């Protein structure tokens, strides 16, 4: 039976990407070697890395003012690497607190600079994106989390400020077009919308670097990775390959505009069902709803196990909500087709006929 994978991350990958990756795991391009046993300095991997970078640039329109890096340590390492590389201890940096990941970014940035939390929706368990008013001081940068994977909220309009954004896009990068010029840094763990776990993508405006007084450990200095083309040390060869394939799939399927259209169709289908089905209720405020992760509850929690059983019977997996929100979370990343969302909607619909 076809599985409909709604997992939040690691998450769904396109079928054709998985097939190519499995071939490369055994015999890369008829070389007689697995890609996993090939040198990261060899011509094959250098080509893959160049292609991965080129695909990022093509998809988001990234010009030479920005570097595109493939690093390790997850988005969680970027929480501190950004502040460490961009801000001196007495600089003001502005943070918008829209969830658990934002809060972690705030905690880490405080180790290196003067963090001002300028907006938060913590008081409502982060069920909306707060209004972002430009701060009176000009911060060095403003940190945003574009999509809040746990709470199912997403920034729809970029705030109008004069400083660059540093943005955690782990769960919605490549899901829609971006006004790139507003961003100083974009970072994302690959395992939601880009590829497998083990690599993070960082897009960074080069002119922001080299301005801090502190000594940086070599491997935590962005400039090192720019100078060494993401190969200062051994990069995660296989995750970068799968990421390159996923980005190529994204390009071949119409790029980020086509993804945005598809993602909005998918999420509309599900939100319409959540809103019209008497048994369910959405947890995020309507105007903040994410096109990537939809969070919802059964009004009668005692039906939870019965609903999960019906989902399982229909091949729907990864639907259980994050413990801090409860209920259900349907993650509908780029690689998911409308048919999978329809399968979930059908289960919700027949469930309400049985229990309504």
d(CA 81, CA 105): 10
- CB of residue 148 to ligand PLP, shortest distance in Å: 7
From the list 320, 299, 285, 329, the residue with the least C-alpha distance to 123 is 285
The residue behind tokens 């994204």 is 250
CB-nearer residue toward ligand PLP: 246 or 277: 246
d(CA 191, CA 196): 5
- CB of residue 98 to ligand PLP, shortest distance in Å: 9
* Active-site entry in 168, 172, 205, 266: 168
CB-nearer residue toward ligand PLP: 58 or 158: 158
* Active-site entry in 192, 205, 249, 310: 192
Contact in structure between 75 and 190 (CB atoms under 8 Å) = no
d(CA 167, CA 184): 8
- CB of residue 68 to ligand PLP, shortest distance in Å: 17
Say how far residue 177 (Cα) sits from the centre of its chain.
Answer: 14
Q: 241 by DSSP, 3-state: which? A: helix
Strands of 19-129, DSSP E: 66-71, 92-97, 114-120
Let me know if 156 is a catalytic residue: no
CB-nearer residue toward ligand PLP: 171 or 248: 171
What residues have CB less than 8 Å from 23, skipping those under 6 apart? none
- CB of residue 248 to ligand PLP, shortest distance in Å: 22
Let me know if 168 is a catalytic residue: yes
Say how far residue 35 (Cα) sits from the centre of its chain.
Answer: 26
Q: What is the Cα gyration radius of the chain?
A: 21
CB-nearer residue toward ligand PLP: 99 or 139: 99
- CB of residue 322 to ligand PLP, shortest distance in Å: 10
Contact residues for ligand PLP (CB under 6 A)? 9, 74-76, 101, 145, 149, 168, 170-171, 189, 192
CB-nearer residue toward ligand PLP: 75 or 109: 75
d(CA 283, CA 289): 9
- CB of residue 302 to ligand PLP, shortest distance in Å: 30
The residue behind tokens 């405020």 is 285
Report phi then psi at 87, rounded to 5: -130, 135
Let me know if 101 is a catalytic residue: yes
CB-nearer residue toward ligand PLP: 171 or 288: 171
d(CA 118, CA 342): 39
Integer CA distances (angstroms), 161 to 34, 107, 140, in order: 48, 23, 11
Residues acting as catalytic residues: 101, 168, 192
């Amino acid at each position: 039976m076809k599985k409909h994978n709604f997992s939040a991350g690691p998450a769904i990958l396109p079928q054709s990407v998985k097939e190519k990756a499995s071939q490369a795991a055994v015999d890369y391009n008829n070389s007689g070697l697995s890609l996993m046993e090939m040198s990261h300095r060899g011509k094959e991997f250098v080509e893959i890395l160049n292609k991965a970078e080129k695909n990022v640039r093509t998809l988001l329109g990234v010009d030479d003012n920005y570097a595109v890096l493939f690093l390790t340590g997850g988005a969680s390492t970027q929480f501190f690497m950004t502040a460490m590389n961009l801000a001196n201890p007495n600089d003001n940096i502005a943070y918008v607190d829209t969830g658990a990941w934002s809060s972690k970014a705030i905690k880490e940035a405080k180790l290196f600079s003067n963090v001002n939390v300028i907006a938060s929706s913590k008081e409502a368990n982060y069920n909306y994106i707060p209004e972002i008013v430009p701060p009176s001081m000009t911060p060095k940068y403003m940190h945003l989390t574009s999509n809040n994977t746990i709470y199912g909220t997403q920034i729809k309009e970029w705030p109008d400020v004069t400083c660059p954004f540093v943005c955690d896009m782990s769960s919605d990068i490549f899901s829609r077009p971006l006004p790139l010029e507003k961003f100083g840094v974009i970072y994302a763990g690959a395992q939601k919308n880009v590829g497998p776990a083990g690599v993070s993508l960082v897009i960074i405006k080069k002119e922001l670097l080299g301005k801090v007084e502190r000594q940086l450990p070599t491997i935590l200095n962005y400039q090192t990775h720019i100078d060494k083309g993401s190969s200062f040390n051994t990069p995660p060869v296989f995750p970068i390959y799968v990421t390159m394939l996923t980005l190529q799939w994204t390009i071949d399927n119409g790029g980020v505009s086509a993804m945005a259209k598809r993602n909005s169709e998918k999420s509309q289908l599900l939100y319409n069902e959540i809103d019209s089905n008497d048994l369910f209720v959405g947890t995020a405020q309507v105007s903040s709803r994410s096109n990537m992760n939809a969070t919802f509850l059964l009004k009668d929690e005692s039906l939870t196990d019965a609903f999960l059983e019906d989902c399982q019977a229909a091949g729907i997996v990864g639907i259980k909500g994050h413990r801090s929100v409860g209920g259900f979370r349907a993650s509908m990343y780029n690689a998911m087709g409308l048919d999978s969302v329809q399968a979930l909607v059908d289960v919700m619909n027949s469930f309400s006929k049985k229990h309504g």
